Structure 1
Amino acid sequence: MTPERLEECLSVVHWPVETLAEVLGCDVSLVEAWLTEEAEIPPKAAAWIDTVAQFMETADGMKPKGLKGKKFP
């Protein structure tokens, strides 16, 4: 996984770097190192992140359309 793809995945799932680090149980500095190519993204982490992003892309397409701006009386 490239740093660009990692950024794209984070955007798709609406996660800041801190959330990914929390979910993976690592320090934010490691995710930041992945994004700056100071460290290589482990293949298993890359596969998991990509799978989560693909799931969210699919789920986003199924999101109900008529709820935007709705409020409870």
Structure 2
Amino acid sequence: MSPERFNQCLRVIRWTPINIASALQCELSWIEALEAGNEIVPEGLATWLETLAQAHEALPPTAAYRGKRSSF
């Protein structure tokens, strides 16, 4: 997985580097290295991110709640 695709997957999933580091319970610096292309994205991580990104692309958020406000 290229750094560009890694970053694109994160955008599609709506995750920041901090979010994925938290989900993986890994060092933020490693995620930043993956983003920059200074580390190779492991195959298992690439497959997982691709699957999540594809699911998010196939099932975008519903528009039914746009502009929804609290009734309080």
Take 2:6 and 2:70, find their aligned partners in 1: how far apart are those partners?
Answer: 37
> 1:70 and 2:68 equivalent?
yes
Aligned residue in 1 for 2:4: 4
Write the deviation string for residues 47-66 of structure 1: whole angstroms up to 9, x where unpaired. Answer: 00111111111110xx4333
Matched AA of 2:12: V
Whole-Å Cα distance in 1 between the matches of residues 33 and 62 of structure 2?
37
Please report the TM-score for the alignment, with normalisation by the length of structure 1: 0.86
SS in 1 for 2:68: coil
Task: State the number of aligned residues.
Answer: 71
Q: Which has the higher contact order (CA 8 A, sep 6+)?
A: 2
Q: Which structure 2 residues correspond to residues 16-27 of structure 1 after superposition, within 5 A?
A: 16-27=16-27
Runs of at least 4 residues off by over 3 Å = none
Unmatched runs of 5 consecutive residues or more in structure 1: none
Q: Distance in 2 between matches of 1:64 and 1:40?
A: 35
Q: Which runs of 5+ in 2 are unaligned?
A: none
Partner of 1:31: 31
